[in-house]
Amino acid sequence: MSGALAGRKAIVTGASRGIGRAIAERFAAEGATVALMSRNRDTLEKVAAGLPGAVVREADVVDADGFRDALGEVVAELGGVDVLVNNAGGNSFSMPLVATRFAGWEKTMRLNVDSIVHACQIVLPGMLSQRSGSIVNVSSVAALRGGPLMAHYAAAKAAVVSIGQSLAIECASSGVRVNTLVPGWIDTDLTDFLRAEAATEEAVLSRVPMQRWGRAEEIASAALFLAEDESSFMTGQSLIIDGGLSAMP
């Protein structure tokens, strides 16, 4: 198969829908063999049905031991990994920090931050041995400024940026690159609640210079760039895709 990722093997977490699904589909279209991971095997199998050679493995990234075991099995099944996309994540509540239950804070960290640490610890040793690989972590524009009512999520996504920088430096002389995607507001299930009322949607889009939601496919294009050799001298960087949101004063 031809394409920018021909012959490459990739793992994408959170690949059952939204941004992760778009990334998995784009990678497969570019010739990669893709392992799709999320909690829902049925949904993953439906996505995989359209992707030649795709591997499916269900795991909850919040369950550290189960996730690490599943990743180990996926690495063995693929026979090595060239690209790891740590995309699974999200935010399930809005709350002032002072009222946030610590269990909620911890769960947000386990979902968005710890999951990346686990995945890197399982997948990176093989990349370092083969002296090549690209890790793409998914952060958010929430990482760039204060996140009122979502300090937990903003802090978690800021940690994702920081981990990407540290890891990139640690791996730079070993042929493994680590970069971070920083999406703005994207039309996925995660942001459905913001489209439920016209006034809320208008308030969100009024801050976006391009005045529209981003599409998951637009994040997948950036993921492809970071995964493939076109970005071969790029590591430790954050790529912001937000319709101009973060450029606003």
CB 228, CB 85: distance < 8 Å: no
Residue 201's contacts (CB-CB under 8 Å, 6 or more residues apart) are 194, 195
Identity of the residue, 126 or 243, whose beta carbon is nearer to ligand NAP in the bound complex: 243
Catalytic pick among 27, 67, 153, 213 = 153
Instruction: Show contacts with ligand NAP in window 119-158 (CB under 6 A).
Output: 138, 140
Return the amino acid letter for 169: I
CB of 174 to ligand NAP, least distance (A): 26
State yes or no: is 153 an active-site residue.
yes
Strand order in the sheet with 33-38: 55-58, 33-38, 9-13, 83-86, 133-138, 176-183, 238-241
CB 179, CB 235: distance < 8 Å: yes
Under rule CB under 6 A, residue 186 binds ligand NAP: yes
DSSP assigned state of 94: -
Give the whole-angstrom CA distance, residue 84 versus residue 136.
6
Instruction: Show contacts with ligand NAP in window 92-121 (CB under 6 A).
Output: 111
CB 135, CB 160: distance < 8 Å: no
Identity of the residue, 53 or 193, whose beta carbon is nearer to ligand NAP in the bound complex: 193
Per CB under 6 A, the segment of 59-67, 76-84, 121-129, 203-211 that binds ligand NAP is 59-67
Identity of the residue, 64 or 97, whose beta carbon is nearer to ligand NAP in the bound complex: 64
Under rule CB under 6 A, residue 19 binds ligand NAP: yes
Total residues binding ligand NAP (CB under 6 A): 28
Under rule CB under 6 A, residue 36 binds ligand NAP: no
Give the whole-angstrom CA distance, residue 211 versus residue 214.
10
Exactly one of 3, 4, 43, 117 binds ligand NAP (CB under 6 A); that residue is: 43
Where does this chain bind ligand NAP (CB under 6 A)?
14-20, 38-40, 43, 60-62, 87-90, 111, 138, 140, 183, 185-186, 188-191
